[in-house]
Amino acid sequence: MRTNGILLPIFSLSSPYGIGTLGKEAFDFIDFLKEAGCSYWQILPVGPTGFGDSPYQSPSAFAGNPYFIDLRILCREGWLQEQALQSIDFGKDPHKVDYEKLYLNRFEVLRVGADRFLENAQENTLSDFENFCEENSFWLDSYALFSALHDRYHCAFYDWPKEYRTREKEALKRAEAELSSDIAFYKILQYWFFSQWQTLHDYAKKAGVGFIGDMPIYVAPDSADVWAHPEIFLLDENGRPSSVAGCPPDAFSADGQLWGNPLYDWSALKETDYAWWCERLKFAGKLYDVVRIDHFRAFDAYFSIPTGEKTAKNGVWKQGPGEEFFQSVHQKIGKLHIIAEDLGQITDSVRALLKSVGYPGMAVLEFAFDPNGDSRYLPHNIEKNSVVYTGTHDNDTIEGYLKNAPKSERRFCIDYLRLSANEGYNWGMMRAAMATAADTCILQMQDFMGLSEGARINTPGTSEGNWQWRMEGSCINSWLAGIIRQNTALYRRLGNQKA
């Protein structure tokens, strides 16, 4: 079945409170996707963001981002007063997220709401909250305590006093008693997030729209996961990574990429039959309809860089868990709907692993147009069991790409795809993606709007100006949906949507 979808981060939705949320605009976008004949909404990771605001560096592999909690829904439920929100500065620019303003002001608002919740919630609501806490205790208890301790010490957990850093039982009991109100606050935030998410997800299912969620393969070094499960990571005696993740030097980066995430102790994980990973994938399988696993190649071989290195030059490749990992996961929780992010320099062993598990890989047109090569991402080489993109969140928009690409690459792209200014380069490139043999085609919302590099989501290797772009609500309209639907139908990608 051929399908189409749109990539749009939740934070990029419009809203009156500084960032896209799980509120009205998200429901409106699902209506837009249905009208456009799209089967999927692909989003970025929905976890809380830490330093740098990247959704790929979250303090939890399970928690939801409190910024995405819709404040208007909390007002309707009686936990907040809409009038009191009008004077709060959540950011002045409707086209960019101001994370500093959100960090300074949104949590104060949410604390007011949480206090009202504890004071005024009806018995059935409190019972629902308690059931949520019990069902999610395997991650929620440690995350809430981790967050409360973080607020107390204002530093990474490996710099906490030793009794908390090493999770001494008596110290944790003492902290749970002393920080009970803060712990309750963080649990309420998660209850609100997942309640709103479930309502949105149910609405999407009725509309025939599935969510493609994004799972970073690694977790942040300062995360509840590393703190609560140090035995499954490669750490030193203080809880810091003994080696870190990244990518080797290549044609794009002479120094490689130094990500800094802790690496997994795959031997220790194997002894538990990969229990933590099974919980993570099972949880993601309930949250999303399809899970995109970022940096899939690390399951075959991962790049290990000694801690303290300034670049990735001295890293080495090490063997990952391979096919055995997926066999174990499939036996325990069943086979999930997964997209494998297999971009970059892919070896024969990675291709063999992908073939053995049967997951579709990815093809990105913006990586295809080396005028001297025959890239596997050129439309004539794209396989059926794959997901095609013109670009991902790490790429420029189509207009930005063609504006900034080397002249020879730009010329090859235009000639190969027969692009014309009359049609619009963005529309020509998107049509080319839809016309490929790939089962699924995912296109960026910015490209339907014809935006240039100012609407780019992320530029790898940079630390400023990322994860900020937001669109105006007026861009979601029937005129644009109609044009998308015409192309979706033309290239036989209506999927479950009615013709």
Burial of 203 (0-12, 13-18, 19+ CB in 10 A): middle
pLDDT at 90: 94
pLDDT at 462: 84
pLDDT at 253 over 80: no
Lowest mean pLDDT of 82-91, 206-215, 482-491, name the range: 82-91
> Can 100 be counted among the known catalytic residues?
no
Choose among 496, 499, 433, 440: nearest CA to 204: 496
The number of helices, as runs of H, and strands, as runs of E, in the chain is 19, 12
pLDDT at 498: 63
pLDDT at 182: 98
User: pLDDT of 158-208, one tens digit each?
Assistant: 999 999 999 999 999 999 999 999 999 999 999 999 999 999 999 999 999
pLDDT at 238: 87
pLDDT at 438: 98
Give the alpha-carbon dihedral of 473, 479, 482, 483, to 10 degrees.
-100
252 pLDDT band, cuts 50/70/90, is: low
- Average pLDDT of 458-479? 91
Catalytic residue among 53, 341, 396, 447: 341
User: pLDDT of 320-331, one tens digit each?
Assistant: 999 999 999 999
pLDDT at 68: 98
pLDDT at 149 over 90: yes
Catalytic residue among 176, 394, 409, 439: 394
Residue-range domains of the chain with CATH: 3-64+191-490 (3.20.20.80)
pLDDT at 496: 72
Residue 246 has what DSSP assignment?
A: E
Percent of the chain with pLDDT over 70: 99
pLDDT at 254: 84
Distance CA 470, CA 31 (A): 19
pLDDT at 251 over 80: no
Catalytic residue among 25, 70, 222, 294: 294
Choose among 467, 433, 465, 466: nearest CA to 448: 433
For tokens 């490209």, what's the residue? Answer: 447
Angle (CA) 311-315-320 rounded to 5° is: 135
Helix, strand or coil, per DSSP, at residue 287: helix
Q: What is the average pLDDT value for the chain, to the nearest integer?
A: 95
pLDDT at 475: 87
pLDDT at 473: 84
pLDDT at 163: 97
> Can 98 be counted among the known catalytic residues?
no
- Average pLDDT of 426-451? 98
pLDDT at 495: 85
Measured CA to CA in angstroms, residue 192 lies from 44, 53, 140, 184, 303 at distances of: 19, 21, 13, 12, 38
> Can 294 be counted among the known catalytic residues?
yes
Residue type, 207: A
pLDDT at 257 over 90: no
The structure's pTM equals 0.96
User: pLDDT of 59-103, one tens digit each?
Assistant: 999 999 999 999 999 999 999 999 989 889 999 899 999 999 999
